Amino acid sequence: MKGRTIFLQLVLAVVGVATIVIAAIPVPIMLHRLVTTAPPVAVGPTWSFVVGMIILILAFLVAVGLAEGLLRVIARGQAFSPQALRLLIELKWAVGVMAVGAICWLPWCTALRNSTTRLAWC
């Protein structure tokens, strides 16, 4: 069992580092281009997309940390302890916040679909 949890912890660490790298390098460039080239009609939806993206990235990183903590508790053989249940509940809330971040993209997607001009980065 410990071998499986170590493997999963390694995968979570790789995913967390990859998320940080992606969030630090291409995402700010994409968001800057999006905000500076947005047509006047799509300024509000564009900022909604930017805020949603930031919420989604931060909530994902929190979820990765909580999942790793949950794996540590499971590796100690305390899978059904109060600490494990608390971590599971917090993980559920982090995933819910990720969904809210994704919902923030909807106005932008609608504005882009209804737009007659293409954005520069599309």
CB 121 within 8 A of CB 34: yes
> Could you read off the pLDDT of 46-81 as tens digits, one per residue?
888 888 989 999 999 999 999 999 999 988 888 889
Angle between helix 43-75 and helix 82-103 axes, rounded to 10 deg: 160
Give the list of residues 6+ apart from residue 98 with CB closer than 8 angstroms, or none: 55, 56, 59, 60, 63
| Statement: residue 97 has pLDDT above 90 | yes
Residue of 111 and 115 predicted with greater confidence: 111
Model confidence at 29, pLDDT cuts 50, 70, 90, reads confident
